[in-house]
Structure 1
Amino acid sequence: MYLGIDLGTSGLRALMTDAAGRPVASAEAQYNVQTPHPGWSEQDPGDWITALDQAMDQLRDTPGYGDICGIAVAGHMHGAVLLDGSDQVLRPCILWNDTRSATEAAELDATAQVRDLSGNIVFPGFTAPKLLWVQRHEPEIFADVAKVLLPAAYLNLHLTGRHVADMSDSAGTSWLDVGARDWSEQLLKAGQMRRDQMPDLVEGCAPAGQLRSDLARHWGLTGPVTIAGGAGDNAAAACGTGVMAAGQGFVSLGTSGVVLTARDGFHPDAQTAVHTFCHAIPDRWYQMGVMLSATDCMNWLGRITGRSPADLTACLGDQLRPPGPVTFMPYLSGERTPHNSASLRGGFQGLSISTTSEDLAIAVMEGVSYGLRDCLEALRATGAELSSCLVIGGGSKSGYWVKLLATILDLPLQLPKGGEFGAALGAARLAQIAVTGAAPAEILTAPDIAATVMPDSNLRDGFDAGYAAFRARVSALT
């Protein structure tokens, strides 16, 4: 048996798979995010340990549980867990969606060679500017920092007793030479950090250590358990969906939105605001465009109207309508691709006395889809080519939204059959490779496809014009 752990922003999910890679059982535990000031987003790493124990307790009675022989962690990226010399947490983890370090990010991004070596713009959510913020605003804490770990690496420390991280997660720090797949002395110096403050690096599918014997006994696991390097959450999702080679990709309609494609080589183009990161398997990279608010925009609309997203969209059906009269800018938390702006904000345009909540819901779906089109166009600017994509995430349950997105992207979108295909499965697959030594291509296979949603050729031109108008409105905002 193998265990994949998906350490998410709002909860942890653990998935057991068997030797054939089939899901056997899963468990979940939730925790909270603290926002003590506007733009701040923090979490207590101790909550992750508690959630992991709760998930393991839920799985304990599953047949075969005691035979778990490999574990890997997929984690939300960019978070900063600061440890002293005794591995005690110095302050709450600063999360990926925290924007307090926008000034530090801009300064670091303007530093010579930073983009060239890291392959990326330095976004406010990345790890390096967070440490510069701590140096300026919490100098007594900065002085005590012995190690900086990403969230997944902190769980690796809990599991193995070692400071170890994988390449895909570490690529989002702005300290890693993403092409060379190693910490960069120049990037560390630019960020006022040292190599000894970094964890050891391994590939995501390679062994990172063994499960601590006391933890194995506590959980009731009987044999030696290998801990794999693991992955950042999007790299793990790529492993779960079999996205390994150039031309393969997925669109994620989740809380945030992602258009991701695998690359056979290192092809950075930082000015596009596309993320270029190491994949969780050796000698592979991936690129993605990221928008910070996707289905979260619909959740927000539900909160302010007092109606659930399902209720807001229930009357739409699957028949696509022409572009609506209201336009929505989906920038509730700033934006990454292609704007790199923590201060960009959203809004509606075209409201009238006759505007209904249904009009607003359609505008939100269109605005998010236009934002994902921005991501796709940015990927194409780097030389990436996609002829079709998987579509995953909570928004993919809306037939209307998927048809709309396929038409705006002008791409066939493939809906996987029901079951597991996300980050937890990707992590379990990485654990299986680490234990067995199997070739990644044998394990990281694509899911069966339930349906392929084609663009609506009758409405394609209308939505192309809608996208052009959307881009013009965004230009006025920026």
Structure 2
Amino acid sequence: MYLGLDLGTSGVKAMLIDDSQRIIGSASGALDVSRPHPGWSEQDPAEWVRATEQAIAGLKAAHPAALAAVRGIGLSGQMHGATLLDADDKVLRPCILWNDTRSFREAAALDADPQFRAVTGNIVFPGFTAPKLVWVRDNEPEIFARVRRVLLPKDYLRLWLTGEHISEMSDSAGTAWLDTANRRWSESLLSATGMEERQMPALVEGTDAAGTLRSELAAGWGISGDVVVAGGAGDNAASACGMGTVGEGHAFVSLGTSGVLFAANASYLPNPASAVHAFCHALPNTWHQMGVILSATDALNWYSGIAGRSAADLSTELGETLKAPGGVTFLPYLSGERTPHNDAAIRGAFAGLGHESSRVVLTQAVMEGVSFAIRDSLEALRAAGTTLSRVTAIGGGSRSRYWLKSIATALDLPVDLPADGDFGAAFGAARLGLIAATGADPVATCYAPKTAETIAPEAGLVPAYEEAYQRYRRLYPAIKGATT
């Protein structure tokens, strides 16, 4: 048996699979986010351990024999978080999360140093780890002086599981300290932020062994014998391993809290000017590109709170027949935006409101706004040299057929729906645990699920969607000065 642990923003998910990759069971533990000031987003790492223990307890109660047979564990986690430890591995402050934008000035200053884009292949975004450390240095100097190790969230779980300070390439590529082409820490970038390589974890590939489960934890879980813990992956790369998005030209669109358009690459293809991420993949000698929007289902959930109806009810009210875009346009910049604008200060807007703008009209506009934001990511990937012929949809928002039709038509690409199953980050992490424990071939292990259905673009509405997208594109520069 093999265990995948996915540390997300809202919870930890634990999943058991067997040698044939059949899902045996899953359980979860919930997490909350602290927002003590505008733009701040934090979590206590002790809560990650608590939520993991809760998830493992759920598996042990439901599947004790399967849990006892675990031989490999894979880790997936929310990216970019700054977990600061002292010389005794004690946490110095709450972890600053991926969607925390307090360090936007520090990020801009680092991004103005040309070596960062040249070495990492990426813009230095406010959510990345390096500018967070500069913010701590400048605003909490007494804490910065005590920092002896910086770990990403899932790697703090690894420390608890194994006692090892280890990370891997896909997650580390989101720190703004990694030499992404050569898959190693950059001493010059670390130095530019007042850090040293000795403060960073050792690096392995996501498929490599990266520690052994501590004996006291194994005993508590009912496991005897050694259990290998794999390097693992950042959450999007782990999802890609679960979806089989590991080969050239394969791509998925994720409609979760944030939105992601992820494309696997056989070579390193940076183009930071497009605001697309160019990161290492979890598999050796592979990379990926990723366009990221900060509010996908989060945008519909926000509007749900305003409208007083659940997101599912709003989608049902809209129906399944795709409509031509109306006169209302929504910009989903509720927390700023990454691709393509790299703008932490921009905020969302409705444009074109009139007396006739009903709840259904606004729901449609919200979904279209997210679809157009994903189209922005597609254009950024194209500018970075990637051509896609189709995408696979995952995430909670993919349960809305209307939204899938809107995305397919906005992208003018077919959208595949995988057969029933859970092929997300926890499943991808379990696959990495299997590979690390058995030496199985990574590409052969990370195969794609069968396609249950394909949502084709609505050919008759593609021109109307194109016109609406161009209107959407004109709105960002028009409102930038009024909302920042």
Question: What's 1:38 paired with?
Answer: 38
Distance 2:382 2:147 in 1: 40
Q: What is the CA deviation profile of residues 136-157 of structure 1, one whole-angstrom value per residue up to 9, with x for unaligned ones?
A: 0000000000000000110111
Structure 2 unmatched ranges of 5 or more: none
Matched-pair contact (CA < 8 Å) for 1:128–1:173: yes
> What is the CA deviation profile of residues 201-260 of structure 1, one whole-angstrom value per residue up to 9, with x for unaligned ones?
000010001111111112221221000001000000000000011110000111101101
Q: Which amino acid aligns with 1:311?
A: D
Q: Distance in 2 between matches of 1:191 and 1:437?
A: 38
Mapped partners of 2:315, 2:16: distance in 1? 34
SS at match of 1:319: coil
Match of 1:206 in 2: 208
Deviations 1:88-134 (A, max 9, x none): 00000000000000010000011131100011000000000000000
Instruction: Work out whether residues 247 and 385 of structure 1, in 8 Å CA contact, stay in contact via their aligned partners in 2.
Output: yes
Which residue is 2:182 aligned to?
A: 180
Output the amino acid matched with 1:383. Answer: G
2:31 and 2:472 map into 1 onto residues whose CA distance is 37
For 2:177 and 2:226, how far apart are their aligned partners in 1? 33
Question: 1:308 corresponds to which letter in structure 2?
Answer: S
CA shift at 1:317, angstroms? 2.2
Residue 444 of structure 2 is matched in structure 1 by 442
Could you give the per-residue CA deviations for residues 342-380 of structure 1, whole angstroms, max 9, x where no partner exists?
A: 001111011111211111100000000000000000000
- The answer for the alignment partner of 1:51 in structure 2 is 51
Give the aligned residue type for 2:190: L
Letter in 2 for 1:437: G
Partner of 2:5: helix, strand, or coil?
strand
- State the secondary structure of the residue aligned to 2:317: coil
Residue 57 of structure 1 aligns to which amino acid in structure 2? Answer: A
Q: CA deviation at 1:57?
A: 1.0
Q: 1:461 aligns to what? A: 463
The SS at the match of 1:113 is helix
How far residue 316 of structure 1 moved from its aligned partner, in angstroms, is: 2.4
Counterpart residue identity of residue 431, structure 1? G
Determine whether 1:77 maps to 2:108.
no
8 Å contact from structure 1 (residues 175, 191) kept in 2? no
Counterpart for residue 331 of structure 1:
333
CA distance in 1, matches of 2:99, 2:50: 22
Q: What amino acid is aligned across from residue 57 of structure 2 in structure 1?
A: D
Q: CA deviation at 1:475?
A: 2.3
Normalization by structure 2: what TM-score? 0.98
Counterpart for residue 354 of structure 2: 352
Residue 314 of structure 1: SS of its match in structure 2?
helix
Would you say 1:25 and 2:25 are equivalent positions?
A: yes
SS in 2 for 1:77: coil
Equivalent position amino acid for 1:336 in 2 = R
Distance of 1:2 and 1:274 partners within structure 2: 33
Give the superposition deviation at 1:24: 0.4
Aligned-pair distance for 1:65?
Answer: 1.6
| Alpha-carbon separation, structure 2, partners of 1:17 and 1:401 | 31
Which residue of 1 is the match for residue 2 of structure 2?
A: 2
Q: How far apart are the structure 1 equivalents of 2:352 and 2:422?
A: 40
Q: Structure 1: which amino acid aligns with 2:418?
A: P
Q: Is the 8 A contact 2:318 2:363 kept in 1?
A: no
Task: Indicate the SS of the match to 1:459.
Answer: helix
Q: Give the aligned residue type for 1:45.
A: P
Query: How far apart are residue 73 of structure 1 and its match?
Result: 0.9
Partner of 1:265: 267
User: In the alignment, what sits opposite 2:425?
Assistant: 423
Q: Is the 8 A contact 2:67 2:221 kept in 1?
A: no
CA contact (8 A) 1:388 1:413 kept: yes
Shift of 1:166: 0.8
Specify the code of the residue in structure 1 equivalent to 2:58.
Q
Match of 1:401 in 2: 403
Aligned pairs for 1:304-323 within 5 A: 304-323=306-325
| SS of alignment partner, residue 454 of structure 2 | strand
User: Counterpart in 1 of 2:239?
Assistant: 237
Count residues in correspondence: 478
C-alpha separation in 2, matches of 1:400 and 1:306? 20
What letter corresponds to residue 202 of structure 2 in structure 1? D
Look up the equivalent residue of 1:253 and give its one-letter code: L
CA–CA separation in structure 1 for the residues paired with 2:432 and 2:285:
15
TM-score (norm 1): 0.99
CA RMSD of aligned residues (A): 0.8
**Matches of residues 161-310 of structure 1 in structure 2 within 5 Å?**
161-310=163-312
2: CA distance between counterparts of 1:313 and 1:452? 20
DSSP-derived class of the 1:100 partner = coil
User: Is the Cα contact below 8 Å between 2:27 and 2:59 reproduced in 1?
Assistant: yes
CA distance in 2, matches of 1:374, 1:477: 17
Matched residue type, 1:5: L
- Structure 1 consecutive aligned stretches of length 4 or more whose deviation exceeds 6 Å: none
Q: 1:55 Cα shift?
A: 1.0
Residue 102 of structure 2: aligned partner: 100
Question: Which deviates more, 303-312 or 160-169?
Answer: 303-312
CA distance in 2, matches of 1:64, 1:36: 41
Residues 243 and 448, structure 2, Cα contact 8 Å, conserved in 1? yes
Percent of aligned pairs sharing the same letter: 56
Contact 1:67/1:223 (8 A) holds in 2: no
| Contact 1:246–1:384 (Cα < 8 Å) also in 2 | no
Distance across 2 between alignment mates of 1:443 and 1:192: 41
Greater CA deviation, 147-156 or 54-63?
A: 54-63
- Stretch moving more, 77-86 or 63-72: 63-72
User: Which residues of structure 1 form unaligned runs of 5+?
Assistant: none
Secondary structure of the corresponding residue to residue 286 of structure 1: strand
Determine if the alignment matches structure 1 residue 142 to structure 2 residue 173: no
* Contact 1:33 1:41 (C-alpha < 8 Å) held by counterparts: yes
